[in-house]
Amino acid sequence: MRIYLVRHGDAVPEEDAGSDRDRWLSSRGREAARVLGRLLREQGVVPDAILTSPLPRAVQTAELLAQALDFLVPIASRRCFEPSAQPRVAADELRASGASVLVVSHEPAVSSLAAYLAGRPAFPQFRTAQCYALENGAPTFTARSDLGVVQTYFLD
């Protein structure tokens, strides 16, 4: 199973949105999501499913990634990918979604999910618009929009 875990792009401040749940992508976050989409496309990422937290900044990131990957299937919004979600519940959702799944989530949920899937006590915190690819529980690469690069990734 291939899983691509993504933290959403940069979002507007809470003061502008009225609440953390309502925050949407900033212009910088939209551009970062587009860059990340290009990086993933260059890596040959072809997901069977794209799953996302229902929060606007995650949904918008997922939509921009889907566009870059020519993904034409509806994106599925799931509460189990919200910021305070439990990794076991999210992992169960992933397993039921296909052999290659891209997920857009938030910190700390996304790094907790990565640790759970990799069988590790912890995982590095994700930057905004960053993806870690895991294949059968082992990290294979990370793509960072802020650097515009993909790096092979190995956990010690």
pLDDT digits (tens, 9 = 90+) for 50-87: 999 999 999 999 999 999 999 999 999 999 999 999 99
Confidence of residue 154 (pLDDT cuts 50, 70, 90): low
Residue-level pLDDT at 149: 84
Question: How far apart (Å, rounded) are the C-alpha atoms in residues 97 and 7?
Answer: 19
What letter does residue 84 receive in the DSSP assignment?
T
Residues 6+ apart with CB under 8 A from 131: 4, 5, 6, 36, 39, 40, 142, 143
Residue 156 confidence (pLDDT) above 80: no
Radius of gyration, alpha carbons of the chain: 14
How many percent of the chain have pLDDT more than 70? 97
- The whole-model pTM stands at 0.95
Query: What average pLDDT does the segment 31-42 reach?
Result: 97
Query: What average pLDDT does the segment 45-49 reach?
Result: 97
- End-to-end Cα, the chain, rounded Å: 21
Question: How far apart (Å, rounded) are the C-alpha atoms in residues 64 and 52?
Answer: 12
Residue 5 confidence (pLDDT) above 90: yes
Question: How do the domains of the chain map onto residue ranges?
Answer: 2-151
Query: What average pLDDT does the segment 18-39 reach?
Result: 97
What CATH architecture applies to the domain 2-151? 3-Layer(aba) Sandwich (3.40)
Q: What is the mean pLDDT of the chain?
A: 95
Note the helical H segments in 48-108.
Answer: 56-68, 87-95
The amino acid at residue 21 is R
